A and B are shown apart, each in its own frame.
Chain A
Amino acid sequence: MAADGHRPGIVLIAAGAGQPAIDQTVQTIEAAGYRIWRQVIVQPRLRSVAAEVRAGMRDGRATVVVLGDQSHADIHQAVALASDRLLDSADAPNARPVDAVPAGSSYLVQTGGPAIIFLDGAGIADFTDLSARIA
């Protein structure tokens, strides 16, 4: 818990998700007691999503939540790309990549640094379960 009673912060990256889904995710995350530091909307393209995931992880104080539509393969590749990079980092010895893209489901990537949660647009409610598993 942070000193102000909130849990550690979140960087929310919405990749190709609609505004209603983003609003609902914001409500879900805040209801779970987290503070959202930053909300970014990007196009569901490999480069833009990966760049934002990395920027969110650099922030260091936050879990990165990627909200997207699982049909966009680029988003999963971007998450994998961002977490794979951490495998080479001495700062993140426990990092492991996303081995396969789960179809239509949300998932958690433990990196040794800030964790990454991918939420499928239809799986917003999974946030609470996934965030509870963050080491």
Chain B
Amino acid sequence: MAEPRRPKPRAPKNILRLLNAFERVALGPLRPNVSTPSEIVWMWEVSTLMRYELPHSPIQHDIPVIIIPPLMVKPIIFDLRPGNSMAGFLCKQGFDTYLLDYGVPDDDDETIRVDDYVTDFIPAAIQKVLERTGAPAVSLVGWSMGGIMSYTYCALTGDESRVRNLITLGSPLNFSKMYPMNILAKLSKLPTTQLMFKIMGNVPPAMTRNGFKLMAPHKLITRRIDLVRNYWDRDWVEGYEAMSSWVDQFIPYPGAAFRQFVEDFVRDDKLRQGALMMGDESIDLNRITANILVVIGTADDVAPIDSVAAAVEEIPTDDISGLRVPLGHIGLVAGSHARELVWEPMAEWLAERSTKNGR
């Protein structure tokens, strides 16, 4: 599927490159420091529930949307910059839009497990939104591990009265197809790795950031080449700088959650096999009743196509479909083509399923 084309430049590209380079040296990064207006509607320990609101965008749909981010990153990726904000886009489309920000874990949080996010943080946020809005249910939009935790939550409760719709973006379900991460995860059985888990505490951001980059090592070079080639395009450079700034702000990964994710999800593929436990409860994908849209990046180096698309085959809910788009893992939520290829179809899909009495 070909990517949309950019408008032609209004001046010679080399002149534009020079102008942008001059401004970058003289005034600093070219990214605008503006975000979609939001308010904190609820705080619990270090986590917050944000609500986005644009002045001329009234709520048109009955079912509010909660964005569920992954761990280890700051959720500003969902509101990166004007014109490139998934949260802002959903607001403009008339959705009452919330985001669950787990906060930045410190040393006291190293024992937080995935269980805590799935059985405490996410349901508490859903409850708060339902109380605030009086809506009959919510829609969840989860990216990467945010989507995996959303699957897990829905498979834990099977409670369709709370989650009407679920959209996952680049979220693997079949971890046996998640190369090369599943092979690396097998190393977690080694005594040295077990010892490392015990003494490490939280996983430092530098480790997760570099691990993330190494999953697509060619991009360490191609991104820089792309920067030079596109330096004439102000909008492109602003996006690049905003993205680079976000990548530099990775946050610690709670140690226990990391270990559980590596061992239970990636290494042993327990979610798909129905062998996963959250607290005392077993997780069963057959319980999921929400309508589901699975967004699959065909250029995703982190979550390979087969690992993500497996959800369409394996979750037996009545309304489930997959949307394949020619984007990478980050491009799904914040790339320059995300609006046209992901957000617009996503909003269209949600709108059809967001009436008070619908299903």
Q: Which residues of A contact B (CB under 8 A)?
A: 4, 6, 14, 19, 22-23, 26, 30, 35-36, 38-43, 47-48, 52
Contacts and interface: CB of A to CB of B under 8 A. Distances in A.
User: By DSSP majority rule, is chain B's interface helix, strand, loop, or mixed?
Assistant: mixed
A41 B321 contact: yes
A48 B294 CA distance: 14
B321 A48 contact: yes
15 contacts: A19-B305, A23-B298, A26-B1, A35-B1, A38-B323, A39-B323, A40-B321, A41-B312, A41-B321, A41-B322, A42-B312, A42-B320, A42-B321, A48-B319, A48-B320
Contacts of A48: 319-321
Contact of B320 (A4, A19, A23, A43): A43
Given A19-B305, A19-B306, A47-B318, A41 B2 contact: no
Given A4-B5, A38-B323, A43 B313 contact: yes
A4 B2 CA distance: 12
B33 to A, nearest CB: 35
Contacts, number: 45
The 4 closest A-B pairs by CB, nearest first: A41-B322, A39-B324, A36-B1, A42-B321
Contacts of B313: 43
Chain B interface size band reads: 20 to 34
A30 B298 CA distance: 15
Nearest to A16: B313
A40 B323 contact: yes
Nearest to B322: A41
A39 to B, nearest CB: 4
A35 B313 CA distance: 27
Given A19-B309, A35-B2, 10 more contacts: A4-B5, A6-B2, A23-B298, A36-B2, A39-B323, A41-B312, A41-B324, A43-B313, A48-B319, A52-B321
A47 B321 CA distance: 12
B345 interface: yes
User: By DSSP majority rule, is chain A's interface helix, strand, loop, or mixed?
Assistant: mixed
B325 interface: yes
Interface string B324-349: 11000000000000000000010000
Interface of B: 1-2, 5, 294, 296, 298, 305-306, 309, 312-313, 318-325, 345
A41 B309 contact: yes
A42 B294 CA distance: 10
A30 B2 contact: yes
Contacts of A14: 324
A76 to B, nearest CB: 19
A19 B305 CA distance: 8
A38 B319 CA distance: 18
Nearest to A26: B1
A30 B3 CA distance: 12
Contact of A39 (B5, B306, B325): B325
A128 to B, nearest CB: 18
Contacts of A23: 298
A23 B8 CA distance: 30
A89 B350 CA distance: 27
Contacts of B322: 40-42
Contacts of A52: 321
Contacts of A39: 1, 323-325
B27 to A, nearest CB: 36
Nearest to B1: A36
Nearest to B325: A39
A30 B325 CA distance: 14
